[in-house]
A and B are shown apart, each in its own frame.
Chain A
Amino acid sequence: EAGVAQSPRYKIIEKRQSVAFWCNPISGHATLYWYQQILGQGPKLLIQFQNNGVVDDSQLPKDRFSAERLKGVDSTLKIQPAKLEDSAVYLCASSFVGQGRGSYNEQFFGPGTRLTVL
């Protein structure tokens, strides 16, 4: 079974530029997550999709970050304009989520995109 795919693996940009990251989840996984992981910290959820709908984007800085999952499969996360503090690893994860009790959202991560903002 193929894992979560992400691209690019590395990106270096200047502040105020824009950048986009792509993620393809594990086949059959309805739920897709984007996390930001700053060095020395645990991953922090940015946005959660179930199929092509947003479930939780409460921690997404919406003035500069946007994400979409138009066909309920792959997803794109965009930053425009980037700031120095956006330097981090952006992780995509997916899970097979059923309904109700017993559906315990085991999440599997892709390799991540390391973003450096200069």
Chain B
Amino acid sequence: IAGITQAPTSQILAAGRRMTLRCTQDMRHNAMYWYRQDLGLGLRLIHYSNTAGTTGKGEVPDGYSVSRANTDDFPLTLASAVPSQTSVYFCASSDNPNQPQHFGDGTRLSIL
């Protein structure tokens, strides 16, 4: 089934550890995005990529990094996790930046 796959589904992580959230899409979409969703704050953009080889910072980029080596994959890395990064993380993609975005199932991350 075509779509966006995120892994892991959930994770409990000790503070200070490094963690990479994976996101893969098979729709050949040019643009990809990472959001975090926190109660009362809604979805906030962390990083985005309008096309393979390029990335940009969103609203809350600090503590996160991304790469876009190819069209399909857009991993999000927490270099040294902190408790405030406990959240639900959604990856999304769109054919082009001005087209509707489609979301993956999300990753629930808890930092202890």
Do A and B share a complex?
A: no
Give residues in B with beta carbon < 8 Å to A: none
A: residues with CB less than 8 A from B are none
